[in-house]
Amino acid sequence: MKKLVIATRRSRLALWQAEYIKRQLEEIHSLQVILNPMSTRGDELVDRRLDEAGGKGLFVKELENAMTDGRADLAVHSMKDVPAELPPGFILAAITRREDPRDALVSNKYDRFAAIPAGGVIGTSSLRRAAQLAERHPQLEVRLLRGNVETRLAKLDRDEYDAIVLAVAGLARLGLEQRIRARLEVEASLPAPGQGALGIECLAQRTDLVELLKPLRDAASEICVRAERAVSRALGGSCALPLAAYAELAGERLRLRALVASADGRRVARADCVGTASEPEALAQEAVAALRRQGADRILAK
């Protein structure tokens, strides 16, 4: 194999992520790697909530089509944007070392939510973030904010919002860490499954690529993301769910925290479980059972 083609979205962050993987592959294997940027439905539908427009799959379908018809060999994704269930015939061949998984408060005026006056407007496209904000700060108004990172920051700078919430990892990768006013601890804003990690998807039949990508895999990140995604998968795996899951590895012990909430933040179920790192999916099932004992299914049904 002398040449690889990576399918990627066109946003600056997606291109950064694809370039990052490109550089590693070229250094490790001394081969030519080409990017194939493309627009996805998820990028184009910026005036509606993602759960109303069709879900996370809108960000990856075109990339998967490119792999199916031979225009690309693999695709690079932010793992929080990848549906819990991949289409038949596709696999996640590698999950790379995770960046900071936390959410960030970004504001030109305030360095904490408690300082924002009642009625202040917070921007986010995430039901997960919105529900946790509503639970902790019911005096604030949460409004839809879609678009790439630069678009969201521009709307903040035009005073359309008092503050917005973005992923720390995305801002760091774009060299925009100076925009972060506060990194939100996971207790205050539990991350999305896979947040901060990059995943490389390819056709399951491409065993040559699976072998090629092995040096890019990070075992610790993979274990944590597997546990988090198993929670999402067990509860429906949709971005229409205000659902969070975050795992931390310490030696052979794995801690998994998970959360399900009503959209208004008035009903919240939480789980905090510890198990062995060798069985991340089993730990996820334990967390899901704990959430269901607290009424998670009833919360999600509404």
Does 81 participate in catalysis according to the annotation? yes
Task: Round to whole Å and give the CA distance between 7 and 293.
Answer: 42
Q: Active-site residue among 43, 47, 51, 81?
A: 81
* Cα four-point dihedral sign 179, 18, 246, 264: positive
Q: Under a CB-based contact definition with an 8 Å cutoff, are residues 109 and 184 in contact?
A: no
- Tell me 8's DSSP state: E
C-alpha distances in angstroms, 278 versus 57, 79, 111?
29, 21, 40
Strand partners, 259: 244, 270
Q: Under DSSP, is residue 57 helix (H, G, I), strand (E, B) or coil?
A: helix
- Calculated CA dihedral for residues 153, 159, 160, 163, nearest 10 degrees: 60
Write out the DSSP string of 104-153. EEE-SS-SSGGGSPTT-EEEES-HHHHHHHHHH-TTSEEEE--S-HHHHH
Active site residues: 81
